[in-house]
Structure 1
């Protein structure tokens, strides 16, 4: 293929774009310019959409103070999540460092939200239909998001929306290092099959199809799996299965969790605890 390409278009290595265009046969020159233009525009759009936003320095400083020292009624985040937001593998507290700021803020909002009322009690319809009470409400199969946790619920309910955002900005911009855990080969092989292939025969996609290569996370809706305590991740899947957690994007994880066995949880999470990423920020 490369040799055929160079026979038609020439070898452009070491040439400027203008000289490359001159090397292209005239009947291909228009297409060459269009293709190069589209590739350049696509690259610029990708860069614009994926470049990290500038850090709000004031929000970062305020978030840092709250994370390290807490305030009246709110304990320091670092007491459980580590001095640098690295988490606590022994106690099963998750890593916050390097998570998407929007993801952190949303989780705090969901911890603070009271569970939605299930069901509506309606009065009997009177004979005079003009006096029938009308209830206007947005109907959706997806809840705004709730997370039940005896430690985080009371803390999150004392935070303001601004404080949640500030904490997200602070922790989301902390560097972190992942230390891979030693896992036996059989568990690793089974976990890799779930992480990389899923269980398509049961309608379960591969973990990396949403959580990114190596489970490194993708955007605010799909957090990283690598570098998190396996016990924490398994506990979250358990909560999706029991309904204690109901705040996943489009109910994706709830459906996936219901297709996972206890063995699936152990194997997949062990696999991600064995993965490693470069030091990221």
Structure 2
């Protein structure tokens, strides 16, 4: 993303921020409905390997606690899954240091399950 925005002026960045903050959030839908219930258990109670409940930071409906804990409601299942795996492998840097400590505590199955649940969240 950095390469895409590095030539934008401060005015351009503000205009983009204004545009995206005015958009209506989307409602998600899981492609793997059979994983949603197990994902909800992880999201609300934590993972078997000691990962804390996702709702601790992202809240029950996935609205987050800006600016540190983002809204995740409406995220696509594949995107959530990809980002969680990037944190687990250490490939994702930048903001999200806490996630880089939490996600390795999740199994690959738990990542798939919580990704399905996050995609199903409605706010």
Q: Verify same fold: TM over 0.5.
A: yes
Cα offsets for 1:231-254 (capped at 9, x unmatched): 1111112222233321224x1100
CA RMSD of aligned residues (A): 2.1
Deviation at 1:203, TM superposition (A): 3.4
Residue equivalent to 2:64: 217
TM-score after normalising by structure 2: 0.84
Residue equivalent to 2:79: 232
Deviation at 1:217, TM superposition (A): 2.1
Match of 1:242 among 70, 89, 101: 89
> Could you say which structure has the larger radius of gyration?
1
**Counterpart Cα distance in 1 of 2:27 and 2:107:** 27
Matched, 1:156 2:5: yes
Matched, 1:204 2:51: yes
Q: Check 1:182–1:246 CA distance in 2 against 1; reply closer, same or farther (3 A cut).
A: closer
Q: Is the 8 A contact 2:76 2:119 kept in 1?
A: yes
1:117-132 aligned at under 5 Å gives the runs none
Match of 2:100 among 245, 254, 267: 254
Cα offsets for 1:128-170 (capped at 9, x unmatched): xxxxxxxxxxxxxxxxxxxxxxxx2321222234433331232
Unaligned 5+ runs, structure 1? 1-151
Cα offsets for 1:112-136 (capped at 9, x unmatched): xxxxxxxxxxxxxxxxxxxxxxxxx
Cα offsets for 1:56-95 (capped at 9, x unmatched): xxxxxxxxxxxxxxxxxxxxxxxxxxxxxxxxxxxxxxxx
Residue equivalent to 1:176: 25
Higher RCO (C-alpha 8 Å, min separation 6): 2
**Counterpart Cα distance in 1 of 2:30 and 2:80:** 15
The DSSP-based 3-state class of the residue aligned with 2:61 is helix
**Counterpart Cα distance in 2 of 1:234 and 1:182:** 12
Matched, 1:190 2:43: no
Match of 2:113 among 267, 272, 276: 267
Q: Is the 8 A contact 2:75 2:119 kept in 1?
A: yes
1:40-79 aligned at under 5 Å gives the runs none
Cα offsets for 1:22-74 (capped at 9, x unmatched): xxxxxxxxxxxxxxxxxxxxxxxxxxxxxxxxxxxxxxxxxxxxxxxxxxxxx
Q: Check 1:241–1:183 CA distance in 2 against 1; reply closer, same or farther (3 A cut).
A: closer
1:127-142 aligned at under 5 Å gives the runs none
**Counterpart Cα distance in 1 of 2:75 and 2:30:** 11
